[in-house]
Amino acid sequence: MLNGIEVFVEAPEKHIQINDIRREDIAGLWACLKAAYPGYNVDFCFRDVEVPVEVLTEIGAELLEDCVKMRLLPQDHKAYESHQVGLLTKNDFDDFAAFHDAIDHGMYWTSRRMRDKMDIWRIVALKTDGNISGYSMLRVKFRDASLGEIYCVEADNPSKRKSLLSAAVRCAFEEGKSEVIFMVDNDATEQEEALAIGFSAVGFYTAYNAVLPEE
C-alpha cells in the first residue's frame, strides 16, 4: 500500500500494476513510486471508471489497451465447433511459445512468464500439419474463484478464432467458473466473433503504461 492505494509489484520483472486510481491520487502516488521503484514499468488499469487522460499524459503515460469488456454466462454459450482444437500439452509448449512470442500482443504475459505460472493458465490450441497454428489463452485463477478470463485468441480466420474462443469458454465452465470475461479490442471483427458465441458487451477496460525515471 502506498498513499493508501493498493499497488501490485513484481520486483523480478520491474513491473507495477495499479487499478482504478482516481485522478486526484495520481500525482502523489507517482512521486512515491519514483522514489521507491526507479526504472519500473507501471500499468494504470481502469475498469468501468473515469480515465484521467490529462493527468496520465502529464506523467508521460501512453495508451496501452482500449477494450470493450464482454461477458458470457453458461446459459448463453453458443457452442462453435468447426475445427478440431484441444488443450495444450507440456510437450507442445515450446511450439506454442515460439508462435505466441512471434506476435506483438503488447501484453505482459510472454511465454517465459507463462511457463513460470502455468497453473493459472489453460491454453486451447489448433494444429495444422502437426504444428501450432492458433490458440486461445484462458486464465482460471483469480481472487474471485468464479471468474475465468480469456486474454487473447489468435488464428488466421474468423471460423478458427470462434472455435478456439468457444473451446476456451467450455473449458472455463468445466473448471467450475460461472462467468467468462473477454476484453476485446475496439475492433468490429473481434466483437462480432465474441457476440456469435454468446458474449455481450457489459463495460470497458482501458490501460496506460508509463516508465518511472531512473535515478
Higher pLDDT, 143 or 171: 171
Does residue 58 sit in the same domain as residue 82? no
Task: Write out the residue range of the structural domain in which residue 91 sits.
Answer: 78-197
Does residue 44 sit in the same domain as residue 117? no
Residues 60-96: tens digit of each pLDDT? 999 988 999 999 999 999 999 989 999 999 899 999 9
pLDDT number for residue 51: 92
CA atoms within 13 A on the CB side of 91: 2
Does residue 86 sit in the same domain as residue 159? yes
Edge-to-edge strand order for the sheet containing 200-211?
8-10, 15-19, 41-47, 200-211, 62-72, 179-185, 147-154, 131-139, 121-128, 85-87
Mean pLDDT value across residues 174-182: 96
Look at the chain and report how many structural domains it folds into.
Answer: 2
Mean pLDDT value across residues 167-177: 96
Residues 107-159: tens digit of each pLDDT? 888 999 999 899 999 999 999 888 899 999 999 999 889 999 999 999 999 99
pLDDT number for residue 65: 86
Alpha-carbon distance of 176 to 124, in angstroms, equals 17
Does residue 62 sit in the same domain as residue 155? no
Residues 2-38: tens digit of each pLDDT? 888 999 999 988 999 999 999 999 999 999 999 999 9
* Residue 2 resides in a domain: no
All three cell numbers of 14: 520491474
Provide the b/e sequence for 56-90 (b: ≥16 CB within 10 Å): beebebeebbebbbbbbeeeebeebeebebeebee
Alpha-carbon distance of 76 to 185, in angstroms, equals 21
The percent of residues in the chain predicted with pLDDT above 70, rounded, is: 99
- Report how far Cα 7 is from the mean position of its chain's Cα atoms: 18
Residue 215 above 70 pLDDT? no
Does residue 174 sit in the same domain as residue 122? yes
* Residue 71 resides in a domain: no
